[in-house]
Chains A and B, each alone.
Chain A
Amino acid sequence: MIEVVSGERCVGCDRCVQVCPTNVFDSGPGGVPVIARRHDCQTCFMCEAYCPVDALFVAPSPQPVEAGSPLRDEAHLVASGLLGAYRREIGWGRGRTPGALLAVGPDLPGPSGPASGSSRPAASGSPSRPVSEKEHR
């Protein structure tokens, strides 16, 4: 659930207001968006991905974290590298390589495995046991 909107980092672009699929944010009076409907947050991390200055942090829990949690502490999030981690991982932002370009391995068995996509042999060490297609998403 959304935990942090950093007023210090925010540049007031309102991108999060626009992209949040469940309409959690409203534009704020001073340019910094406000969390107006927190319980509609579905913990999908899309606002983090789109924030150009890593001013937002979404904790993994679908419920609010407790008051003293380090996941509400901006200094901790910066020091631990968690702030902006999702955007970094998917390779969005100037000078980064899109994460989609790197998502090659491991060669997971199943529908995208031997019968599709590529002639690449399974990565060594990957289990030979086929995986039910049900599990793929």
Chain B
Amino acid sequence: MSPSAAPHLVRDADVLVLGGGPAGAWAAIAAAEAGAVVVLADKGYCGTSGSAASGGNNLWYVPPDLALREDAMARREAIAGGLTERRWMARVLDETYRQINRLAGWGYPFPVDDAGVERRSSLQGPEYMRRMRRRVHRSGVLILDHHPALELLADADGAVAGAAGIRRQQGGGRWEARARAVVLATGGCAFLSGAFGLNVDTGDGHLMAAELGAELSGMEFSNAYALSPAYGSHTKGLMMQFASYYDEDGDRLDVGDMTAARRPIARMLADGRQVFARLDKAPPGLREAMRQAQPNYFLPLDKAGIDPFAQSYPVRLVFEGTVRGTGGLRVTGDDCATTVPGLYAAGDVATRELITGSVSGGGSHNGAWAVSSGTWAGAAAAAFAARQRRADRPRAAGRAGLRPYGPAGGGPDAAEVVGAVQEEILPLGRNYFRSSEGLRRSLGALDGLWTSVAAHLTGEGREALRARQAAAMVAHGRWMYRAALAREESRGMHQRVDRPAADPRLAHRVRVGGLDEIWTAAEETREVTA
């Protein structure tokens, strides 16, 4: 994009929502219900974009029964590593229960069990997001598909004032939406690893927010990997509870249950060994039901001609970054505000430490977080917009990958930058098995890339998105590894081979921020939960 070009599409709104996955959809609905004029822009298509649409997820959906809720929170706290806050867990459980019951009222076909009870604790992705799109549309929200945002707009006081990007199905022309408040729901970052449905998640929103000074938190909890068949990309872990694992010689691996198995499998794969899985623990009587419950686990195997109950198939660990990790933009209050006035964060772009701590929220907690944080952020953005004056001449805030400060070209191009970032971020040996030495080495490479990207990288038309995504991934990698260096211990998914134990003095969250210069700082948890 040539940033000075006149926009080809200009819209005014009270609330602009960036991202059309579950969090963005819930935010748009909440903002519209609060009376705001809402525009939702998605990089792809609201209904198929985002980690939920292609797969689906269980939900942290617990009926309002004191004992059940207490148990749900206690079980999470037992593994979360002490970074959760019970008040947040309780309100997420409340809000998710309320909103999912509304989804049922809107016609989502929840299954009914043998006892005649509707089961609302799991969502099929395509159906869920098709319904959510319909509801967003019927709420009067203007949906802009294939309108990736590249940058935020800001007013003279530093409050967010909208966003701008490209219309990638209209020749890459520019769009701009002026708004009094913005909800970022752009997802986490999986670094184009090819994980199931996650290539839309490149951390664009984190970069845009950081350019206005937003802070992040929990970025060390960013190394989620999921098991997938080696030839494929579908990472649905649910069925793996029925798996046994084998080595190259067909000998069964004694790796323990599903959680314990992850680390020895990662070690073998990192060392260049092969690991095979077979779902031979699934009782024959259950297999048809398993297929019905998760068709998109079995379909790719069917297509590849593999019967996973009878045949072993090679597996790999696919990187899912901060999509299934927990780190993201720091929220400063119950309304999911960020540290930037008028800017709210919902779903995977925000830190999920408050409800899932240092371990992955998987689909269940992250799915509930999307529903809840989306609802809160949307309503709060509408309220903020009602108080906020329209900015007269907002400034476009995008820098690295969009408006380089030096001459365009002269450094690596977008594809080369992505390749170089992936080399530091994707390998198990670097990111799953972390060490001070390895992190420093990778940071050296990433810092060098950032310098080049900030000075030279940009793209025209549709290529502007690729350049911006590349810049976003470099920034993301640097926050991740700086936070990982600051946490000189092992906790949750963040495992340091040089610091294998947890340090009780580090039972706090780690904030991180900055672009050219990255800083980290401790944040005391307000509640001690472990």
Contact = CB atoms under 8 A, between A and B. Distances in A.
Interface of A: 17-23, 40, 42-46, 49-50, 59-62, 71, 82, 85-86, 89-90, 92, 98-106, 108-112, 115-120, 123-127, 129, 131-137
B299 interface: yes
B526 interface: no
A117 B233 contact: no
Contacts of B302: 82, 85
B4 interface: no
A68 to B, nearest CB: 15
Nearest to B242: A127
Contacts of A117: 61-63, 119-122
Contacts of B108: 100
A62 B304 CA distance: 12
Given A46-B53, A106-B286, A90 B258 contact: no
Contacts of A106: 286, 289-290, 293
B283 A125 contact: yes
Given A45-B299, A103-B122, A136 B232 contact: no
B365 interface: yes
B48 interface: yes
Nearest to A77: B303
B115 interface: yes
Interface of B: 43-45, 47-50, 53-55, 57-63, 68, 71-72, 75-76, 79, 108-115, 117, 119-124, 126-128, 145-146, 168-169, 194, 196-200, 226, 229, 231-238, 240-242, 257-259, 281, 283, 285-286, 289-290, 292-296, 299-304, 324, 359-360, 362-365
B318 to A, nearest CB: 9
Contacts of A19: 45, 47-48
Contacts, number: 242
A105 B286 CA distance: 8
13 contacts: A21-B50, A42-B200, A46-B54, A46-B197, A71-B303, A92-B126, A98-B127, A100-B110, A104-B112, A106-B290, A108-B293, A111-B72, A119-B117
B194 A115 contact: no
B462 to A, nearest CB: 8
Contacts of B45: 18-21
A21 to B, nearest CB: 3
A21 B44 contact: yes
A121 B197 CA distance: 33
Contacts of B48: 19-21, 44, 46, 50
Contacts of B237: 135-137
Nearest to B129: A46
B59 A137 contact: no
B120 to A, nearest CB: 6
B425 to A, nearest CB: 17
Contacts of B259: 131-132, 134-135
Given A21-B53, A100-B109, A45 B233 contact: no
A137 B58 contact: yes
Given A19-B45, A111-B60, A115-B71, 18 more contacts: A18-B45, A21-B44, A21-B48, A42-B197, A43-B196, A44-B53, A60-B229, A82-B303, A85-B299, A100-B109, A105-B293, A110-B58, A118-B113, A119-B115, A133-B359, A135-B238, A135-B362, A137-B235
